[in-house]
Amino acid sequence: MTSTSTATQRTRLQAGSSWMVLALACACQFMVILDVSIVNVALPSVQRDLGFTATGLAWVVNGYVLTFAGFMLLGGRAADLFGLRRMLVAGLFLFSASSVVGGLATAPEILVGARVAQGVGAAMLAPATLAVINTYFTEPQARARAFGAWSASGGVGGMAGALAGGAITTGLSWRWVFLINVPIGAVLIVLAMMSLVRTRASRREPLDLGGAVTGTAGLAALIYGVMQSADQGWMSVRVLGPAVAGLLLLVVFAVVEARVATRPMVPLRLFRIRTVAVSNAMLLLFGGIAIAMWYFTSLFMQNALGYSALEAGLGQTPAAVAFVVIARLSANLLPRTGARPLVLAGSVCFVAGFGWLAQAHTDSDYVTSVLGPTLLIAVGIGLTFPTLMAAATADAPEGDAGIIGGLANTASQIGGSVALAVLATAASAKVGTDAAYAGTPAALAAGYDLVFLMAAGIGLAIATVSLLLPPHRRG
C-alpha cells in the first residue's frame, strides 16, 4: 500500500491547485499527440536532408509508435511503484532530451534512435497523466470534466500538429519539429514539480521483472509484426514470425502474472472489474475508428479528391473543432447519464457518418460528401473517447491508477495499429482487383469507401459491446 492511501495524504492531494494539475495533464497529452502528427508533415524534408531510404523513413514514425505502445504497461506500473511526480518528470526529461538529439541528428540512425527514446518517454507520460486525473479528481463530475479536457487536449494536439508541421518545416526547418518540444518540456517539468505532491511507497516494492520483460517484449513483437503487413503481406514470415512470437510471449505474460503473489505488473484481478474489461474491449475497437477517421479521410481527400496535404489538414479542422467541443459536453453529461447512453449515441454517429462517407467518389464535393460525415463522426468520437477513458479508469483500486491508465492507452494504441494494417490491406485488395483500373483516383476512392464501410461495422461492434456496461448508478 502506498502512502497516498491514508486519509491525510489524500487530503494533501486534494489541497493542491486543481487547475495547475489539470493543465499539466492536458499539456503532457497535447505534447505526446502533437509529436505524432507534426512529424508526418516533415518526413519528405527529413528524407532529403538525411538521405533516408523509403523503408528507413518509415521508422521515423514506426520507432516512436513501437516503443510508445510496447512500453505503456511498464510505464503505468512504474508510476504506481515510484510515484506520479517522479515518473512524469522522468518521462518529460527523456522526451525532451531525445527531442534535442532528434533535432540535431546528422544521420538516419541517430534520428531513429531518438524517436525510439521519445516513444519510451511518451509511454512513461501517457498512463501517468491518466493516473494524475484519477488521483487528484475524486468527485465524479470534476473527474468527468477533467477527462473531457484531457481528451480535448489530444484533439487540439493532433490538429495543431497537422497545421503547424507544414508551417514550421517551410518557414524554419524540419529540425524545429523536434526542437519545439524542448521549451515545452522544460516548462512542464517545472509545473510538475510545483503542482504534484511527492509520493513514495511506504515500503520498498520490487518491480515484477518477469511480467515487465514478457509483457513489454510481447507487445513490441506483436506490434512490429503487424507493422510489416502493409509491405510484406499477412502470410510473410516477417509478419507471422514476430506476431506469433508476440502472442506466445503475451500468453507467458498472463501465466507469470497469475503466479506473482504481490504487485504483479498487471494484476489479472483488474479484468474482473466489469467497467475495466468492457471499456478496454471497446477501446481496442475504437482504435479502428480513430485510424479510419483521421488517417484514411486525409488520404481520401489527397488521393481521390486531389487536395494538397495542407488542404487536407484544413479540411479536417472543422471535425477536430467539433471533437473538442463535444468532448467537453460529454464530460458534463457523463455523471448524469452514465457511460452506456453516450457510447451508444456515439456509435450511431459512427455508423451513420462512415456509411455516409462511403458514398463519396472522385467527383464529390467537400461540403456534402466530406464535411457533413466527418462532423458526424467527430461528434461520435467526442461522445465516446473521453467516456471510455473515464469508464476504463473510474474503478481503479488504490495503488493501481497508473497501470489502469496504461491498460487503457495500450488498448487504444494496439487497436489502432491492428486496424491500420487490416484496413490498409482491405483497401489495397479492393484497388488491385482490376489491373487496368488499379492506381487511378477512382480505384483509390473505391478502396477508401470499403475502409469506411468497415469502420461503420466497427461502430456497430462498439454499440453491441457497450450493452455489457453496468447501468448508471444515480447518486
- State the cell numbers at 146: 477533467
Give the side-chain half-sphere CA count within 13 A for 249: 21
Any idea which residue has 477512382 for its cell? Answer: 442
Phi, psi torsion values for 2, nearest 5 degrees? -85, 165
Q: Report which secondary-structure segment, H or E, holds 270.
A: none
- For the chain, the helix, strand and coil percentages under 3-state DSSP, each to the nearest 5: 80, 0, 15
Q: How many residues does the chain have?
A: 475
pTM for this model (two decimals): 0.81
Question: Can you tell me whether residue 360 is helix, strand or coil?
Answer: coil
pLDDT for the residue 4: 38
Which amino acid makes up residue 344? Answer: L
Could you tell me the mean pLDDT of each successive run of 10 residues in the chain, 475 residues long? Answer: 38 57 88 78 80 76 84 84 86 94 92 93 87 80 81 78 70 84 91 76 66 86 82 82 92 87 79 88 90 83 81 83 88 87 95 94 88 94 90 75 81 84 82 59 87 94 92 65
Any idea which residue has 497516498 for its cell? Answer: 4
Angstrom distances, CA of residue 227 to CA of 65, 230, 238, 357 = 10, 7, 10, 26
pLDDT for the residue 65: 82
What span, in angstroms and rounded, lies between the C-alpha atoms of 29 and 75?
15
pLDDT for the residue 16: 46
**Dihedral angle, C-alpha 267, 273, 278, 280, nearest 10 °:** -30
- State the cell numbers at 427: 483497401
